Amino acid sequence: MKAFRGEILSVPDDPAHAGAEAIRHHEDGLLVVEDGLVLACGPATELADRFGDVPFEKLEGLIVPGFVDAHVHYPQIERIASHGEQLMQWLERHIFPAEMAFADRAHADAVAAFFLDELLRHGTTSALVFATVHPGSVDALFEAALARDMRIVSGKVLMDQGPEGLRDSVESGRADTEALIARWRGRGRLGYAVTPRFAPTSSRAQLEDAGRLLAAHPDVLLHTHLSENPGEIAYVAERFPEAADYLDVYDRFGLVGPRSVFAHCVHMSDRALGRMAEAGTGIAFCPTSNLFLGSGLFDLAQADRHGVKVGIGTDVGAGTSLSVLHTLGEAYRICQLQGCCLDPFRALHLATAGGARVMGITDRVGALLPGQEADFVLLDCAATPLLARRCAGAPLHDRLFALQVLGDDRAVTGTWLRGRPAHPGAKLISRARRPARRGPAWKERRR
């Protein structure tokens, strides 16, 4: 048993529904961890009777649950910031060529290791991740995640109508998916997602088969893209004239349910959102991606009106940062452009417990509740001179908002997975120039 003492904040429930009750803040808090799980989390004085003898580490900063990235593409990390196109042309020009390189397992291994170390450095401990069409790209990611003890859900991309060199078939897609599920089921903190890229790159037969795979494996997710870009939506309407809308294309193949996660959902009808709410389907809101590709503004208020569950996705490489903190700042701006105001506590909820809900892992992570895995992040409100000035003497609400608007990986002092400092290798490079007082990773290195 061990403990961590410091200022602790978590938002297990959505403040939009639960109000201020949803916010758990302990100015002098104690997080008690046993065998990697949270045993207790509360005011240090209240827990002193029960855990006074437990050795604790004092952490300077704000302790929050590890971030959950509900939609990101690891093979695209090296194509982030690719200039000049919107979705369909961007895929053709920048992304498909990059993904072809993942036929090479050594390349996949190298990128997977870099990507996961970057996630940890940015404070992300759980993620729903796109790989490529190559099954080896999933093996590479899962092996690297297992070595780091990260909670990663991924799957081989199904795309039998994709470009030459990046195409599977209904049969190979099914066989590879089945083999990956069998190979990785129950290992570490990994999960599988049946992953048709999006309706334009799969045949009807493949979408139907994806529905069969989802039904055959009650423990897997369905992960894809939906209604991101007007050109994409027009193309889908042309290819599937029988469907009521884009969501209905997936629905007709049994792909809309409580284990489904759709990235983007920027241009949605009330019918489609009503159907998502009824089915218990989740949305990954990807602000930086939607701005970068000029896709449009996700309407959080509309999703709220229907009661659809929402998480936050960085969607790198269309997204411009792996920092969930920074992504929350962009989410705020997108809401502002539509006359709606995203509260910083709600934003933190969406990026932690909200994302966990979308991924179906609220029993495991997201809120530092007893029994959950002790994945957490230490944030530094003085990480930059400007943050320090803005946050000096400021109340929690203002500090949290400043972290979202001004913060990024620089504000993440350390990341812990199941109560252990995460993969020191990731920190050695990034933290080498920081003063010792800032983080346990640095201290680890000096020991």
Nearer to ligand GUN, 289 or 404 (CB): 289
Residues paired with 309 in a beta bridge: 282
95 binds, among ligand GUN, Zn ion, none (CB under 5 to 8 A by kind): ligand GUN
63 binds ligand GUN (CB under 6 A): no
267 binds ligand GUN (CB under 6 A): no
71 binds ligand GUN (CB under 6 A): no
Range list of H helices, 261-371 = 270-279, 287-292, 300-306, 324-336, 344-349, 355-358
Q: How far is the CB of 229 from ligand GUN (least distance, A)?
A: 8
Of 94, 151, 197, 399, the one binding ligand GUN (CB under 6 A) is 197
Burial class (CB in 10 A: 0-12, 13-18, 19+), 208: middle
Please identify, among the stretches 87-95, 323-331, 350-358, 385-393, the one whose residues bind ligand GUN according to the rule CB under 6 A.
87-95
Q: Kind of pairing, strands 37-43 and 24-34?
A: antiparallel
Six-digit token pair at 7?
């200022």
209 binds, among Zn ion, ligand GUN, none (CB under 5 to 8 A by kind): none
Torsion region of 184: left, alpha or beta (phi above 0 gives left; psi -120 to 50 gives alpha): alpha
198 binds ligand GUN (CB under 6 A): yes
Of 95, 261, 312, 365, the one binding ligand GUN (CB under 6 A) is 95
* Residue 27 burial (CB count, 10 A): 11
Nearer to Zn ion, 123 or 313 (CB): 313
Q: How far is the CB of 104 from Zn ion (least distance, A)?
A: 22
Six-digit token pair at 303?
């999703």
Nearer to Zn ion, 143 or 315 (CB): 315
Residues that bind Zn ion (CB under 5 A): 263, 315
What is the distance between the alpha carbons of residues 388 and 94, in angstroms, rounded to a whole number?
38
228 binds, among Zn ion, ligand GUN, none (CB under 5 to 8 A by kind): ligand GUN
Q: How far is the CB of 113 from Zn ion (least distance, A)?
A: 21
Q: How far is the CB of 314 from Zn ion (least distance, A)?
A: 9
228 binds ligand GUN (CB under 6 A): yes
Q: Collect all residues with Cβ–Cβ distance below 8 Å to 144 and sequence separation of at least 6.
A: 109, 112, 113, 116
Of 5, 151, 225, 267, the one binding ligand GUN (CB under 6 A) is 225
Phi then psi dihedrals of residue 98, to 5 deg? -65, -40
Q: How far is the CB of 416 from ligand GUN (least distance, A)?
A: 30
Q: How far is the CB of 71 from Zn ion (least distance, A)?
A: 6
> Per-residue x/- marks for ligand GUN, 274-313, CB under 6 A?
---------------x------------------------
Find, among 269, 267, 365, 261, the residue nearest to 311 by Cα. 261
Query: How far apart, in Å, are the Cα atoms of 118 and each of 115, 280, 284?
Result: 5, 31, 20
Six-digit token pair at 294?
């000029």
Query: How far apart, in Å, are the Cα atoms of 419 and each of 23, 48, 376, 416?
Result: 22, 19, 8, 5
Q: By the criterion CB under 6 A, which residues form the site for ligand GUN?
A: 73, 87, 91, 95, 197-198, 225, 228, 289, 315, 318
